[in-house]
Amino acid sequence: MFLVIVEAAIYQDGRWLIIKRSEKEKHAAGLLALVGGKVDLEDHPNDILEHAMRREIKEEIAIEVNDLRYVKSASFLLPDGRCALETIFFCRPKSGIPHAVSADEVAELYWMTTDDVLNHPSAPDYLKDQISQAAKVLHD
């Protein structure tokens, strides 16, 4: 019914980890985004979203994160007409140094403040909303 996607709002020292998606990506190629990806059938059936989130972070930027906190969920249509359901999690780095594991997925990494993201001319509106919502988790 849905393509299920998880994305991480990773926060450290007053900045969010934002990626530039590879131009080779099928969806949102070359755009600024959060780290994330699809939930797979191989992900552990218990806490499947959390398991998928940790796997995607490790696969894309080679770090481990602390506890995941729910931020929001949304649905949207993909260009091929399928409906995607995404869940955003807030987290902080636990270990490792973030870097692009595969240039086919992540072209660049940036550490940006909330204002940097909200005022960036190339930041998609959905990313601005995701960061705005994740910033509220900081104060909870």
Distance (Å, whole) CA 47 – CA 96: 23
What CATH number is given to the structural domain containing 82? 3.90.79.10
Residue 134 pLDDT exceeds 80: yes
Q: Which tens digit of pLDDT belongs to each residue from 96-114?
A: 999 999 888 899 999 999 9
Structural domains in the chain (count): 1
Torsion of CA 91, 122, 106, 39, to 10 degrees: 50
What pLDDT is stored for residue 28 in this prediction? Answer: 63
- Domain range holding 89? 3-138
pTM of the model: 0.93
